[in-house]
């Protein structure tokens, strides 16, 4: 299988050239070639019109002025921020020792540039996923680059952090830096990019000025259809009795949260970053202690103090960060899919054949692109990794499934498959709760929407009553003003 075939691509000084395509289209492979991680089988690379260069490795790429921010974070959690920013490039004194004063001074400047208000000696593990992504960007800035590659840079960022990044990109443009911007968030492409190219199955489909191409044309060139979000029939609860009820839940973040969710519906949880949506999901799943409140499943109060108890009560949870909280990257697909229900496969004496057979059926159901269940999950694209994580819960078959940012960092084709799967689960009588920062996504798939603000439920509305503007006003302002 060819990851790339006869691809021509260029980036001009001071421009943002966006690169789009489905997961597995070859975008990251192309960037790995430019960053010296992979070597091409054929073709050539030229920089600044100075002739063909052979990029030997990542260090050589940095020497040539190529900086890259990878989609998956590559930080050392036990090191501090300054040490992560200058890994293997620390300033040294005349005696050969690390010059910590110079290290911290340089780090402080970089942290300020990306609006990270932390001291350089702060342990990296104390930062949130979004803050760690900004640290990765600062790390790339530490290289005096002429070519700056960003691979899904905003997948974990808040709106404010995205604005900070865009301001930074414009500053780099003014310095004449050429920027390659890879993103599945197509609205960002039109906001920040000068040109956009589309890869499909390793073949370049075309390059356009963003002012001269439409969203529908981009989607069609990526996946062969024009609609980004499919139309799903809305459903209303078929019963007055909720499958899941939360009453008065409180902790350090949550403030007296109460709501009901019903069988056969998709309940959307919207809100700004920090509103408490993920904290609520973790509390329901028993992965976060609460100070007050109760959870009822099918009308019965359930004491949940651990994920094991939540799973026993028929609750499943697909976490926001698949890499850190969901997957076992060095294990294969079958082992990852079976992880939530090992008791079905012999407990401590797991029957490998049974696991592989069940995994193969799951792969077929969600169209997971891999050679077989024995494929290591870390080698899959982001979209296929997310499908593996969803397959784990489909195999477990919970009556209540909470999915946190289910389509973050995956392509539009994989998104559509996940949307259809979630709708199928609801049609089968499951209760599905979707947490998403993507408002078009919430509006496309949810039957009912809760808006959270500052740890509390600020509003509840049927999908037919909701608009992006209305959701944002409830999420960002007082309820009185929103009315």
Per-residue pLDDT of the chain (483 residues; tens, 9 = 90+): 678 999 999 999 999 999 988 766 888 889 999 999 999 999 999 998 777 899 999 889 988 989 898 877 778 888 999 999 998 888 888 888 989 999 999 999 999 988 888 999 999 988 887 788 889 888 888 887 889 999 888 876 777 788 888 988 998 899 899 999 998 778 889 999 999 999 988 899 999 999 999 888 887 887 665 455 555 566 666 567 899 999 999 998 899 999 999 999 999 999 876 788 999 999 999 999 999 999 999 999 999 999 999 999 999 999 887 877 888 988 889 888 888 887 777 655 566 778 888 888 888 888 888 888 888 888 887 778 888 988 998 888 899 999 998 887 677 777 888 888 899 999 999 999 999 987 888 888 999 999 998 899 999 999 888 888 788 788 866 544 444
Please say which residue of 223, 256, 276 terminates a domain. 223
Q: What CA–CA distances, in Å, run from 420 to 49, 229, 327?
A: 48, 11, 22
User: Rounded to an integer, what distance in angstroms lies between the CA atom of residue 300 and that of residue 394?
Assistant: 24
Quick one: 280 and 209 in the same domain? Answer: no
**Residue carrying structure tokens 């003014």:** 174
Closest by alpha carbon to 306, among 292, 319, 287, 325? 287
Q: Which helix (H) or strand (E) holds 361?
A: helix 352-366
268 & 362 share domain = yes
C-alpha distances (whole Å) from 211 to each of 174, 196, 215, 288 are 20, 10, 11, 47
Domain boundary among 189, 223, 257: 223
- Same structural domain, 253 and 397: yes
In a domain, 36, yes or no: yes
Residue 317, φ and ψ in degrees, nearest 5:
-140, 120
DSSP characters for 414-483?
Answer: HHHHHHHHHHHHHHTT-EEEEE-S-HHHHHHH-SEEEEEETTEEEEEEEGGG--HHHHHHHHHS-HHHH-
* CATH code of the domain covering residue 49: 3.40.50.300
381 with 412, same domain: the answer is: yes
User: What is the DSSP-derived secondary structure letter of residue 205?
Assistant: E
Same domain (yes/no): 196, 265: no
CA dihedral over 377, 378, 384, 389, signed as positive or negative: positive
State the virtual CA torsion across 34, 35, 37, 39 in degrees, nearest 10: 20
The span from the CA of 458 to the CA of 61, in Å, is 49
Q: Supply φ then ψ for residue 27, to 5 degrees.
A: -60, -55
**What pLDDT, on a 0 to 100 scale, did the predictor assign at position 349?**
57
Please identify which residue in the block is written with the tokens 């075939």: 5
State both tokens at 468: 């992006």
- Token digits of residue 172: 């780099």
Sequence-distant (6+) residues with CB within 8 A of 106 are 82, 85, 86, 91, 142
| 467 within a domain of the structure (yes/no) | yes
In the sheet with 266-271, reading across from the earlier edge strand, the strands are 315-318, 400-404, 431-435, 266-271, 448-453, 456-462
Closest CA to 199 of 453, 438, 27, 439: 27
Contact partners, residue 349, CB within 8 Å, separation at least 6? none
435, 347: one domain: yes
At residue 54, what are phi and psi to the nearest 5 degrees? -110, 110
* 332-354 exposure pattern, b = at least 16 Cβ within 10 A, e = fewer: bbbbbbbbbbeeebeeeebeeee
- Asked whether the beta carbons of 293 and 273 are under 8 A apart, the reply is no
Query: Which helix (H) or strand (E) element contains residue 100?
Result: helix 100-113
- The per-residue pLDDT for 239 is 64
Same domain, 291 and 204: no
| Final residue before a domain boundary, out of 168, 194, 223 | 223
Question: Do 472 and 453 touch, CB atoms closer than 8 A?
Answer: no
Residue with tokens 């949260």: 257
168 and 281 together in one domain: no
Q: For residue 233, tell me if it sits in a domain.
A: no
In a domain, 77, yes or no: yes
Does residue 318 sit within a domain? yes
215 and 264 housed in the same domain: no
Q: Are residues 338 and 474 in the same domain?
A: yes
331: its two tokens: 């294990």
Q: How far apart are CA 86 and CA 90, in angstroms?
A: 5
Structure tokens at 405: 């940012």
Q: How far apart are CA 397 and CA 293, in angstroms?
A: 26
Would 8 be classed as within a structural domain? no
Structure tokens at 34: 């430019």
Phi then psi dihedrals of residue 20, to 5 deg: -120, 165
Domain of residue 200: give its range.
Answer: 16-223
CA distance to 103, 284, 320, 454, 455, per residue, from 433 (Å): 45, 12, 13, 19, 17
With respect to residue 228, please indicate whether it lies within any of the assigned structural domains: no
Return the pLDDT at 45: 92
Burial annotation 213-239 (CB, 10 A radius, 16+ → b, else e): beeeebbebbbeeeebbeebeeeebee
- Which of 133, 125, 171, 164 lies closest to 151, judged by CA? 133
pLDDT given for residue 243 in this prediction: 95
Which residue matches tokens 């408002």? Answer: 439
Q: Roughly how many angstroms between the first and final C-alpha of the chain, as a whole number?
A: 56
- Domain-located, residue 275: yes
CB distance 389 to 317 below 8 Å: no
DSSP reduced 3-state for 192: helix
| 287 in the same domain as 255 | yes
Query: How many separate domains does the chain show?
Result: 2
Claim to verify: residue 178 and residue 268 sit in the same structural domain: no
Query: Using an 8 Å Cβ cutoff, are 85 and 142 in contact?
Result: yes
């Amino acid at each position: 299988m060819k990851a790339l075939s006869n691809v021509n691509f260029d980036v001009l000084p001071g421009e943002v050239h966006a690169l789009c395509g489905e997961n597995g289209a070859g975008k990251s492979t192309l960037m790995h070639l430019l960053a010296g991680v992979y070597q091409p089988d054929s073709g050539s690379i030229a920089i600044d019109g100075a002739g063909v260069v052979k990029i030997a490795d990542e260090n050589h790429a940095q020497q040539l002025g190529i900086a890259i921010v990878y989609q998956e974070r590559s930080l050392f959690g036990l090191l501090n921020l300054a040490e992560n920013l200058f890994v293997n490039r620390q300033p040294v004194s005349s005696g050969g020792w690390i010059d910590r004063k110079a290290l911290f001074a340089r780090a402080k400047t970089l942290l300020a540039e990306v609006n990270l208000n932390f001291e350089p000696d702060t342990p990296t593990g104390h930062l949130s996923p979004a803050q760690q992504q900004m640290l990765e960007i600062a790390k790339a800035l530490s290289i005096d680059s002429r070519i700056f590659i960003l691979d899904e840079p905003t997948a974990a960022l808040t709106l404010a952090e995205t604005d900070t990044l865009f301001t930074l990109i414009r500053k780099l443009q003014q310095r004449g830096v050429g920027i390659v911007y890879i993103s599945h968030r197509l609205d960002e492409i039109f906001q920040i990019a000068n040109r956009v190219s589309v890869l499909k199955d390793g073949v370049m489909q075309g390059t356009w000025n963003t002012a001269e191409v439409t969203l529908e044309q981009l989607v069609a060139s990526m996946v062969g259809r024009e609609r980004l979000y499919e139309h799903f029939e809305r459903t209303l609860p078929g019963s007055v009795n909720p499958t899941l009820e939360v009453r008065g839940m409180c902790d350090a973040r949550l403030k007296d949260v109460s709501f009901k969710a019903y069988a056969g519906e998709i309940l959307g949880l919207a809100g700004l970053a920090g509103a408490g949506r993920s904290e609520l999901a973790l509390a329901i799943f028993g992965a976060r202690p609460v100070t007050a409140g109760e959870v009822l499943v099918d009308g019965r109060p359930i004491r949940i103090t651990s994920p094991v108890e939540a799973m026993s009560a028929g609750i499943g949870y697909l976490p926001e960060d698949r890499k850190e909280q969901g997957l076992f990257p060095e294990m294969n697909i079958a082992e990852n899919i079976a992880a939530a229900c090992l008791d079905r496969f012999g407990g401590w004496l797991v029957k490998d054949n049974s696991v592989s057979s069940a995994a193969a059926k799951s792969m077929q159901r969600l169209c997971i692109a891999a050679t077989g269940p024995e494929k290591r999950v870390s080698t899959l694209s982001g979209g296929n990794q997310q499908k593996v994580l969803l397959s784990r819960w489909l195999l477990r078959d919970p009556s209540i499934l909470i999915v946190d940012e289910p389509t973050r960092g995956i392509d539009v084709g994989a998104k559509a498959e996940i949307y259809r799967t979630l709708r199928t689960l609801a049609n089968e009588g499951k209760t599905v709760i979707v947490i998403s920062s993507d408002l078009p996504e919430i509006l496309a798939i949810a039957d009912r929407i809760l808006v959270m603000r500052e740890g509390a439920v600020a509003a509840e509305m049927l999908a037919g009553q909701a608009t992006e503007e209305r959701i944002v006003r409830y999420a960002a302002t007082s309820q009185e003003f929103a009315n």
